[in-house]
Structures are given as C-alpha cells and as structure tokens.
Amino acid sequence: LDNHLVEIFRNFIDNENIVSIKEYGDGHINDTYLVTTDSSQYILQRVNQEVFNITNLTNNYKQLFISYKTLDESIKHFPDLCKNKDGELHILDSMGSAWRVAEFLDNINAFSISPDIVTSTLAGKAMGRFQNFLNRLDTDSFIDTIPDFHNPHKRFSSFEKSLDNSESALISAAKPEVDFALNNRYITDNMSNIISNNILPVRITHNDPKLENILFKSDKSDAYIIDLDTIMKGTLIFDFGDMVRSITSLAKEDEKDLAKVKFNFDHFRALAGGYFSELTNTISKSEKENIYNGILSVIYVQGIRFLGDFLEGNNYYKVQYPEHNLVRCRTQFKLLKEIIEMETEIKSFLRSN
C-alpha cells in the first residue's frame, strides 16, 4: 500500500481496513484510484489543478449535493462525495495536491463504445432526466470551473495559436487535418453567431457527458452520470452534441482504423429519442432549431482541441504515444464528415421528434 494514498484516504474514511488501492479507469484529466476496504469500495481522485480551480469546483459540488437533498429527488443521478473530518469535500496534501473520495458505484458498466440500442436509448434518457434536475438549480450559484470551456470562437483562436507555435515537422505530419480544420472554421463561426444572438437559454449543464461519463446499471434499468467537474452554466445543445459525438460513431475515440468510424443512424435515433422523451416540456424552440449546429460544433471543437494539443506537444490530454492526439483528431473529423453528409436526414429526424 502506498503510504501517501493511505494517509489521504484516512482523512475521509478512518474506521475501515484498507485492503488495496489501485489505479482505476482511463480518464484523461484526473488521477483515479479504486480503494477497497474490508467492507466497501471508494473512488479516490487527485484533481488536476492545472485544469480546475479546486475551490470553485468544490463550491459547485456543494450546490449539487445541497440541491439534490432539498429538491427531494427520487432518482439517484450521481455518486456521493465523502466528507473529510472537517466536513469538507476535498483536502489539500502537503504538496498542495487536491484529493477527494467518492462513493464507488457497484454493479455498473462503463462503455467507450455503445454496445447496443438499449444502451444508447438509456444514455439519452439518463442525461435527459439529469438535465431536468439541473434545470431546477439556481444558475447563479455555480462558478465557471473552466471559463469558455465550449466557447467556439475562443477554441478556434487557441487552435490558431497552437498552429503558430508548432514545429514545422508536426504541422507537416498533420497536414490533411490542419487543412480540414481551416476549411471548416465556418462551424465555429456559425456557432459563435448563434451564441452572440442570445437565443439559447442559459442553463446549468454537464458540459462533458460523453458515453464514458455515463455508468450503466448491469441490468440496464438505469444509468448514473459521473465526472461532474464541468457542471456550470452552458447550453444544452453542446451536451447533446457530446453524446452524439461519443455514442453514434461506434468506435473508440482513438480508433486508428477510420473505416470503423461511421455515423450510425440507429444509435442516433435511439439516443435522441431517449433524450427528447425526457425533455419534451423543457427543451426550447431555439435549442431544437440549433441542435444540429451544436452537434457539428462539439465534434469540430473536440477535433481541433486534439489537433492543437498534438501540435503543441501533448500538454493537455494524457497520451500513450506521440501521435495519440492526432489519431483522436482523425476520428472526430471522420465522424464530422459523415454527419455533414447526412445533414438532410438528421435535420428531418430532429424536426419530427
């Protein structure tokens, strides 16, 4: 057992024997461990403070948990966080690292690729219900944990900066992707216009509801939402876009064989059907009308973020090999092309649902 991890964990849970502490999951941002004690299991996480301001993050978590209790929700949407001895939701260790402990969700499945239609429908339903819960929260009590997280204009500018700062060898290696990114900047331009018209309702949203952040009960009766770090003010169409991005391609985000990355209409229909069935009374006309643009924007922005990180030498996303971010960018752009080819069919489905 790693003494440092034990000591940290003891701040939260000190009356159970620790059996093991193991690295867990494959998140890109935080360091995640599974702690097994003689009576239970927990998720121990070191929060990446280069990405998140921990004080703001914990403020938002408190809002979530307080609201969850006061609104008397009958559905369990997300795992609980444990309090430490002082009643706080995180601690700082002697090196200044921030740590927290969450309830481990048992008998659940996580997927990087949707295994079947039922799962895609359930993903949509679970996020729709979660959005209905978020709609009841006080927007002003949430602090932006990552300002401009989905700001299309800023994302494009950062990409341009990465391109300017990049070594020419990296730019040549990514020539087709860089060209594609530059030729399709209309996507972020359009989205920026929509946002500056202020027609989309400001809501509290998840902002990162990719498939891996939805945990499914083994009996497929329900699903939980995790990775709540980016919950803040945002727009629902980007949440839907991120689900489409991660669910409809039926391939891993870092699939090298692009022939496997294809837009699957059946899974799209299932996901959208599940999501809208929960949100019929809350989704606005302006959201409905711009949801297609939201899908394009989220996938395009994710593509240029991976590409920009590749061009800058992989500072942000964890990588297993130097071209990892370029490979991830390619899957995004492939899916984007497929979706653009299906524009008429997708829009007509969205209009009739």
Is position 317 an interface residue for Mg ion (rule: CB under 5 A)? no
89 binds, among ligand ATP, Mg ion, none (CB under 5 to 8 A by kind): none
- State in angstroms the smallest separation of the CB of 42 from Mg ion: 17
- State in angstroms the smallest separation of the CB of 24 from ligand ATP: 5
Q: Which of 56, 90, 67 is nearest to 232 (CA)?
A: 56
Instruction: Let me know: does 242 contact 208? Beta carbons within 8 Å.
Output: yes
Looking at the DSSP bridge assignments, the partners of residue 223 are 216
104 binds, among Mg ion, ligand ATP, none (CB under 5 to 8 A by kind): ligand ATP
Looking at the DSSP bridge assignments, the partners of residue 34 are 22, 43
- State in angstroms the smallest separation of the CB of 28 from ligand ATP: 3
Cα–Cα distance, 22 to 45 (Å, whole number): 11
Q: Encoding tokens for residue 44? A: 């121990």
Q: Which residue has its beta carbon closest to Mg ion?
A: 227
Is position 273 an interface residue for Mg ion (rule: CB under 5 A)? no
273 binds, among ligand ATP, Mg ion, none (CB under 5 to 8 A by kind): none
Applying CB under 5 A, which of residues 45, 213, 246, 302 lies at the interface with Mg ion? 213
Query: At 3, is the secondary structure helix, strand, or coil?
Result: helix
Is position 253 an interface residue for Mg ion (rule: CB under 5 A)? no
Cα–Cα distance, 350 to 324 (Å, whole number): 34
- Widest CA span in the chain: 59
Taken in order 142, 144, 150, 153, the sign of the CA dihedral is: positive
Interface residues with ligand ATP (CB under 6 A) are 24-25, 27-30, 32, 43, 79, 102-105, 110, 212-213, 226-227
Is position 242 an interface residue for Mg ion (rule: CB under 5 A)? no
Cα–Cα distance, 226 to 309 (Å, whole number): 25
Cα–Cα distance, 293 to 145 (Å, whole number): 24
36 binds, among ligand ATP, Mg ion, none (CB under 5 to 8 A by kind): none
Is position 227 an interface residue for Mg ion (rule: CB under 5 A)? yes
Q: Which residue has its beta carbon closest to ligand ATP?
A: 27
Is position 313 an interface residue for Mg ion (rule: CB under 5 A)? no
- Smaller CB separation from ligand ATP, 79 or 241: 79
149 binds, among ligand ATP, Mg ion, none (CB under 5 to 8 A by kind): none
Task: Give the β-pairing of 91-92 and 214-217.
Answer: unpaired
Q: Which residues bind Mg ion (CB under 5 A)?
A: 27, 213, 227
